[in-house]
Structure 1
Amino acid sequence: MRIAIIGAGPAGLVLARVLHRHGIPATVHEADASPAARAQGGCLDLHPESGQRAMYEAGLGADFETIARAEGEDHRILDHRGTVLVDHESAGADQRPEVDRADLRRVLLGSLPEDAVVWGRRLCGVDERVGGSRRLRFADGTSVECDLLVGADGAFSRVRPLLTDVRPASAGSGWIDLGVVAPGHPAADVVGRGSFWAMGEERVVGGQRRAGGEVGVSISLRVAPGWGARFDVADVPGLLRGWAPVVRGLVEAAKGPVVARELMVTPVGMTWPSTPGVTLVGDAAHLMPPVGEGANQAMLDGLELGLAIATNPDDPAAAVAAFEAEMIARTTPIAEESARMQAMVLAATAAQDMARFFSRPAAVPGSSGS
């Protein structure tokens, strides 16, 4: 069976690793020109029942432990005036350690044969062949044939249209990546060892400590559809007019290209007719608001699809159909809860709501500026 996986994100790489571990060859086709072609973003908190489970059952538990940062579970919440509402030091008790996305990808890539991932392969067309196989055409002029095509290619998947006409729609929120604050910069002291959120006026300023000590800084906010095309970096200071100096200082210290994205989602519980020879995992299958579950569920998708195929290699269509039914049942309530959480985070009362959610009030010296 020739298996082609489109996309070298967490879902695609976990799937390739699980198949490889069971002696089933698969090739990952990735549009990026190389592993270093694009920054991988910030951190993920891997959950025991999903992301961590995928790593351990893929035989990568020891590698995961070398990149996991228990201190990354710490979090602080302020209102936009600078009053500290939550200051939580987990000491690892939350069991959801942070890992840098770049480290996670390095571990997953290192677990595969060198030729398992082909770079610079942007899918541009799929042709059905006699006998049920498919011919994949790539933008570089190459083509391959496969018996099973797995779309692990994210929000704007080029595999998804083979199964459904559904397209992602605006989630009503946007995200502005402001870059990073250098290690040791005093403006980053407010973040602590883990994550930081300052909330108010239907906006969130986020800070996230990474393994190298730098802090990634972002702004989340409510937006109207099409906001991304209209965004102007010059508008950023006006978003935080009247906010506490400690929050504005963090934003002003961030360096890097500013990138704005309108967040998209697919309908909760999206389904499609199970089709022999093609399926979806991760954001291609269930694109949900980024509140901590998307990547974890994507990794679990990769694990469970790989195990389904390894358990029933003589009937891959049945294996895929059973996996799809389980995945949709599993991710539907999680997507619903993620939508509720995103709405709470961007509500006018977000700071107080989140403080009640975590119920760990404390104070950080010097952080209640006016």
Structure 2
Amino acid sequence: MNDVLLRSLTPSVLGILVRRGADFAAAEDAVQDALVEAVRAWPADPPRDPKGWLVTVAWRRFLDATRADAARRRREDRVEEEPAPGPAPAADDTLQLYFLCAHPSLTPSSAVALTLRAVGGLTTRQIAQAYLVPEATMAQRISRAKRTVSGVRFDQPGDVATVLRVLYLVFNEGYSGDVDLAAEAIRLTRQLAASIDHPEVAGLLALMLLHQARRTARTAPDGSLVPLAEQDRSRWDTRAITEGVEILQAALARDRLGEFQAQAAIAALHADAPTAEETDWVQIVEWYDELARLTDSPVVRLNRAVAVGEADGPRAGLAALAALDASLPRYTAVAAYLHECDGDLATAARLYAEAARKAPNLAERDHLTRRAARLNARGSR
């Protein structure tokens, strides 16, 4: 059973049902039923036209459900009778589905869940495992999201920026359960890039590839975090880096700079450095300036303070940091790092310990605690 093929066909099959008159929620349920049937039937009897097979089975499931529901009688009268079997239409509604699943009326978490289900083809169980919530909870979230968008016209233009934010949220979830969400986000973003010619879509794909290229080097065998400067760069995926840089260069050449292109440019500069010491921090600061101009994000300015500290010295970084709100996530960790670089080990150790108490996850807390302990040990000698 080719799971990747099934997932890649999901959005186009769903789009065909919606075009034929099915509302989104009912169509999505029917497509999921067809996918389950494919998993059962295809290993013994693979179809010659997988997409056409899925469309036929999903449409039958939709008609069966419609006919069985007396409250939907009127809609049943409006839908077409079952089309004769044959090749599925070539029209690709993937782009509209992306827009629909990232509808502004949905919360970010609901948009992510619906995208993974309707466009990604994941089951409710897989999405629930990935987000470490009970399956019933995720089922309710997806059902509410489907009801919300069911009345939205399928041909309305959508907001690319919203779609990209949803995909970036998926990517940042990384890996949990039996679904690699980072890899799934890359697959979905490739799919989106094939549907729309937009430099920011390319920028996001490049950013994902460049970050994913460093994935295996980010953790030690014991599961502890490895900072960028200490990573074994021979473990980086050079093929993903090359592809990411090529995609980014093509996007930047179009002279329509956006935030994902700017982030990808920063990631590319890190990937291009043979060693941490050879990183072009001056250029990175310049890209952070562009990114701050585009987003006016305090988190971007926090990361910029680190880059300034590397380019112009830790005291310059601390001066940039002082202009920011101390309640920002990771502010204390950044302050600790810059004080360490400046040689103030006692202050750095205290701040690392404080940052560890605020850490959002166990791996980061352990990493910060270790740094505090190491500096305390050095200071006691």
Q: TM-score scaled to structure 1, two decimals?
A: 0.27
Higher RCO, Cα 8 Å, sep 6+: 1
The structure with the largest alpha-carbon Rg is: 2
More helix, by proportion: 2
More strand, by proportion: 1
Q: TM-score scaled to structure 2, two decimals?
A: 0.27
